[in-house]
Amino acid sequence: MPNKQNGSPKKALTSEVDQVNNIESSITPNKGLLRCIIDTVSDLIYVKDLNGIYRGCNKASEEFVGLKESEQIGKSDFDFFEKNVAEEVRSIDKRILDSGEEYSIEEWVPTPNGKRVFLESKKAPFYGPDGKVAGIVGISRDITARKQAEDALKKANQELDAFAHTVSHDLRTPLTPIIGNAEVLRNRYRDQLDQPALEALNDIISSSEEMLAMMKDLLSLATVGQVARPVTTLDAGDIARAVVHSLTDQITVAEVSIDIGDLPTVCVPRTLLIQVFENFIVNALKYGSNAGDTIYVGGKRKDDRVSFYVRDHGTGIPAEERDRIFEVFYQQNETEETHGTGIGLATIQKIAQRFDGRTWVEETPGGGSTFWIEIIDVSV
């Protein structure tokens, strides 16, 4: 059938083939074009032979070393770097040549002109016409600015954590006697106090308790960044069962049952895993359940990715709010009964990030929320 728009299909095909041929012919034999592309790239590109002798490089590499390509050819890393740096580079190169495998690294490197830059490098062996490894091609990107920004952010976060830690820890101390004394006054002098005085005391107690809960949650949030990964793995099922046991009263009041599936083992600090289950389950009890419901706790491992989830059948969370609820102090529909601080999910997010993972919420089929945390655990 002739193609009405483009003439005959054969003609259309021929012109496409012509186009491809044109592009190929302009690229294939055109070493000048290839050279132009290589020199336009802002990453350093260099080629070394089997003996670690430079055989070529691009313009970015010329600027980095401070020598023209013609001046670099024939030299080795020992001509450009200090002996220990050059030896390390050579040993990595040898490993690549022996294994035939690519190698990626991010590291601080002293430049030949005395500066230090943070390079993200990838090196790979290349093969000669005889099919044998003939040398190494390296591509390095200067990511010093990004690294410095990341380090500054990390330092600022550590300082903020230290500040939040001190403040929340120290402010808890005076709160305990405030609550204690107000309770003594209320209990001991109940008969002598009039209604407004009793109400004022109740206000002092409930506001102080709220503040105490906030301090406790802030302290947990500030502590997450400081914990190290333990060496022993935990049975997450045992932890989930212990958490559920500790919540027996709340579960009884809510008239729900909790079903715990087969959970994988995982290598994270016990206190953090307790926080994860406690927060997800308490939230499911507070916001996501009706009498008679079953809250399900599940988990799985796929290679080094371990995930846990808590599924409820409550009112759910509108799609546009699902990211925001992980922000610190974000509370959706805070009521007298829910008594939240808006810090719990932010802490879970920090735990996830601490272990290179993530946390998110999705809608439970049929309604409700399923909260997930995924962490990277290379211990198994």
User: Considering the rule CB under 6 A, would residue 297 count as an interface residue with ligand ADP?
Assistant: no
CB nearer ligand ADP, residue 103 or residue 330: 330
The single residue listed with the structure tokens 């406790």 is: 216
- Cβ neighbourhood burial of 197 (10 Å; 0-12, 13-18, 19+): middle
- Rounded least distance, CB 367 to ligand ADP, Å: 11
Structure token digits, residue 264: 């994988």
User: Considering the rule CB under 6 A, would residue 344 count as an interface residue with ligand ADP?
Assistant: yes
Dihedral through CA 356, CA 350, CA 168, CA 207, nearest 10? Answer: -160
* Of 7-15, 18-26, 202-210, 333-341: span binding ligand ADP (CB under 6 A): 333-341
Structure token digits, residue 352: 């996830």
User: Considering the rule CB under 6 A, would residue 359 count as an interface residue with ligand ADP?
Assistant: no
Helix, strand, coil tally for the chain in percent (to 5): 50, 20, 30
Question: 296: closest CA among 201, 368, 374, 344?
Answer: 368
On whether the CB atoms of residues 297 and 308 are closer than 8 A, the answer is: yes
- Rounded least distance, CB 284 to ligand ADP, Å: 5
Q: 252-262 b/e with 16+ CB inside 10 Å = b?
A: eebebebebee
* Of 24-32, 84-92, 100-108, 341-349: span binding ligand ADP (CB under 6 A): 341-349
Structure token digits, residue 134: 């003939």
Residue by residue, what is the 3-state secondary structure of 300-330?
EEECCEEEEEEECCCCCCCHHHCCHHHCCCC
CB nearer ligand ADP, residue 181 or residue 335: 335
* Of 17-25, 34-42, 79-87, 312-320: span binding ligand ADP (CB under 6 A): 312-320
CA distances from 200 to 131, 143, 181, 340 (A): 87, 59, 13, 22
- Rounded least distance, CB 277 to ligand ADP, Å: 13
User: Considering the rule CB under 6 A, would residue 283 count as an interface residue with ligand ADP?
Assistant: yes
- Rounded least distance, CB 285 to ligand ADP, Å: 9
- Rounded least distance, CB 313 to ligand ADP, Å: 10
User: Considering the rule CB under 6 A, would residue 96 count as an interface residue with ligand ADP?
Assistant: no
User: Considering the rule CB under 6 A, would residue 279 count as an interface residue with ligand ADP?
Assistant: yes
- Cβ neighbourhood burial of 361 (10 Å; 0-12, 13-18, 19+): buried
User: Considering the rule CB under 6 A, would residue 168 count as an interface residue with ligand ADP?
Assistant: no
User: Considering the rule CB under 6 A, would residue 317 count as an interface residue with ligand ADP?
Assistant: yes
Q: What is the CA radius of gyration of the chain?
A: 31
On whether the CB atoms of residues 91 and 71 are closer than 8 A, the answer is: no
User: Considering the rule CB under 6 A, would residue 298 count as an interface residue with ligand ADP?
Assistant: no
* Of 12-20, 63-71, 227-235, 343-351: span binding ligand ADP (CB under 6 A): 343-351
d(CA 178, CA 292): 40
Cβ of 118: how many Cβ atoms within 10 Å?
A: 18
CB nearer ligand ADP, residue 72 or residue 364: 364
- Rounded least distance, CB 291 to ligand ADP, Å: 16
- Rounded least distance, CB 330 to ligand ADP, Å: 6
User: Considering the rule CB under 6 A, would residue 340 count as an interface residue with ligand ADP?
Assistant: yes
* Of 41-49, 138-146, 277-285, 351-359: span binding ligand ADP (CB under 6 A): 277-285
Q: Which residue's Cβ lies closest to ligand ADP?
A: 340
Residue by residue, what is the 3-state secondary structure of 334-356?
CCCCCCCCCCHHHHHHHHHHHCC
CB nearer ligand ADP, residue 44 or residue 317: 317
Among 113, 192, 252, 333, binds ligand ADP (CB under 6 A): 333
Among 57, 234, 258, 345, binds ligand ADP (CB under 6 A): 345
- Rounded least distance, CB 222 to ligand ADP, Å: 15
| Residues lying near ligand ADP in the complex (CB under 6 A) | 279, 283-284, 287-288, 312, 314, 317, 325, 330-334, 340-346, 369
